[in-house]
Structures are given as structure tokens and as C-alpha cells.
Structure 1
Amino acid sequence: MSELAITVIGHDRPGIVADVAEALAKLGANLTDSTMTRLRGHFAMTLICNGPAAPEVEAALEPLAAGGQLLATVREVRPETGAASAGEPHLMSVHGADRLGIVAAVTRVLAEAGANITDLTTRLAGPLYVLIAEVDLPPGSAEAVSARLDEVAARLDVDVTLRPAETDLL
């Protein structure tokens, strides 16, 4: 049994998830973790599954990529080891006018604090730019990180909110 990371991207259409999931199920591959989204008319999915070796999975997904409609990549990865994060889960949101460097600036603050971003989504809705992230902060660092984010928010003229996550909802 191999642990595989699979990415699929292409022009959005109904049935992509079903097609990929069925191809994997027919091989006996168990989909364990995934994220899937629509990005400006394109569909993107990243998933981890346990199953046969990468060449078998690549061959099973190849018909879905025929004609260049989808691009699928398969890579063997090492199983996750070690304990769960010792960080404190937080939710960060950023709202403001779209401008260059928002993601770079706020994620740099998190990186410098030793925070781990576990999920991040951005959307441009007209002139409004929205970023939502799940972040594991080092214990006891929330106040200092929040202060640094406030400085960056003022410089970029955006609103940034950092709050503890309700762990039973994650």
C-alpha cells in the first residue's frame, strides 16, 4: 500500500469529483484527506489516498486527462508521523480592497512567529479581497501575533481579525 498525493486541475465541469473518486475506488485506493475548490472557472483538487503504487493510479487517471481538459499528477508521499500540533488553533480573516502583497505580508507575520497555516483560502469579490486562514499559533503568542498583524493591516489598509478557533468545529 502506498500513500499518494494527487492533484487534479482543469476547466470546471460537473462530474470531475465523481470521475476521480470512481477511478480511485476501482483501484482500491482509499481517499483520506482532500481539498477541492473552484477557482475562477477552474476546478482544483488535492488529495491524499492510500492504495496501489503511483504508476497504477496515474494510468487510471490518464483517461480523465485525455484531450487536455484535466491535468492530474500523482506522487508518493511518506505517511504522516509524530504527534498532532502543539499549537493553539486560531482563525484569521483579512478583508479589504485588493492590492498587491496582502498574502505575503500577513503570512510573513505568521511565519516569523513560528505559526503553521493549516488552511488558507482567498477570494476576490469585485473590489473586495477576502482571506480566511486556519492557523496553529505557538502557545502564548496570540497577543504578540495579533499586534503585528494590526501593524501590517494599518500599512495595507485592510481589516485583520485573529481569534481562537472553536476546536470542536475544526
Structure 2
Amino acid sequence: MNELAITVIGHDRPGIVADVAEVLGGLGANLTDSTMTRLRGHFAWTLVCNGPEADAVSQALEPLTADGRLLATVRAVTPEEDEADAGEPHLVSVHGADRLGIVAAVTREVAAAGGNITDLTTRLAGLLYVLVAEVSLPAGAAAGLSERLAAAAKELDVEITLRRAESDLL
């Protein structure tokens, strides 16, 4: 079996998840990890599965993409080693008026602290911009990151919080 990374994006409609899952199931592909969302009327799904060759999966998905409303990409990936993440789980949240550079500034500070972003969601609701990120930080990095995020919050005129998360909740 091959490990495959698949993305499906396009105009949202009912049944996309079912259609793709049926194609994959029909090929004997086992869906292991995925995340799906709707973004302003657009569908976006990224998934990893174990299955046949990438070309076979691409060909099987072609009927779903033929009308041009969906785009599916399939590529073989190397399975990750089952290494325990040595980082400490934290949540970063941002609330404030929408403005350019929020994501770049916050994620740059996390990276500078040696942190890895494991999940990130943003939403614009009217004038309010919200960012929530799950991050894995090296031991002892949270205090310094908290100070740098406070400085970034002041510069961006937003509220940024960093708090330790329970790993079993992530």
C-alpha cells in the first residue's frame, strides 16, 4: 500500500465528501487523517490515505472533477516515523480588527521560538478577525514567546493569548 496526500478544492455542494470517500473506498484506500472546511462557499479537504498508486486514484477521481467545479490532486508521500512529539502543546488565539500581516506576524514569532504550527484556523466575521492555532513549542519556550506575542499584539492592535493546552484535547 502507498501513503497518499490528496487535496480536493472547489465550489461547495452537498455530497462532495461522500463522493470522494466512495471513490477511495471503492479502490480499497483507507482514509487515515483528514481536515475539511468550507471557506466562503468554497470546499477544501486535505486527507492522507493508504491505497493504490497515485495515478490510479487520480484517474478514479476524474469523473468528480470533469465539470471543472472541483480540483483534486493526489501525490505519494513518505510515511512519517512514529516519533513522539517532544514539544509542549499550546494554543495561540488572536482577536481584533482585520488588518494585513496578522498571520505573518504571529506565525513568524512562533517559528522564531522554535515552535511548529500543527493546526491553524482563521475567520473574518464582519470587522472581527479571529485566529486560533495549535502549536508545539520546545520546552521552556513559552515565556519568551509570550513576551514577543505581547509586543506583536501591541503593534497590530489586536489581542493575542498563548496558553498551554492539554495534549489529549488536541
Shift of 1:84: 2.0
Q: Distance in 2 between matches of 1:6 and 1:57?
A: 9
Q: Distance in 2 between matches of 1:141 and 1:108?
A: 14
Shift of 1:82: 4.8
* Residue 14 (structure 1) aligns with: 14
1:74 aligns with 2:78: no
Once the two structures are superposed, the pairs formed by residues 47-86 of structure 1 within 5 Å of their partners are 47-86=47-86
1:3 aligns with 2:3: yes
Q: Distance in 1 between matches of 2:85 and 2:147?
A: 23
Q: Distance in 1 between matches of 2:123 and 2:30?
A: 30
Once the two structures are superposed, the pairs formed by residues 100-139 of structure 1 within 5 Å of their partners are 100-139=100-139
* Residue 147 (structure 1) aligns with: 147
Aligned residues: 170
- SS class of match (1:6): strand
- SS class of match (2:66): helix
Shift of 1:115: 0.1
Matched-pair identity in %: 75
Shift of 1:96: 0.4
For 1:50-90, what per-residue CA distance to the aligned partner results, in whole angstroms no more than 9, with x for missing partners? 00000110011110001101000000000001512100000
Q: Distance in 2 between matches of 1:151 and 1:123?
A: 22
TM-score (norm 1): 0.98
TM-score (norm 2): 0.98
Q: Structure 1 counterpart of 2:44, which letter?
A: A
Q: What RMSD in Å do the two structures reach over aligned CA positions?
A: 0.7
- SS class of match (1:108): helix
* Residue 36 (structure 1) aligns with: 36
Shift of 1:17: 0.4
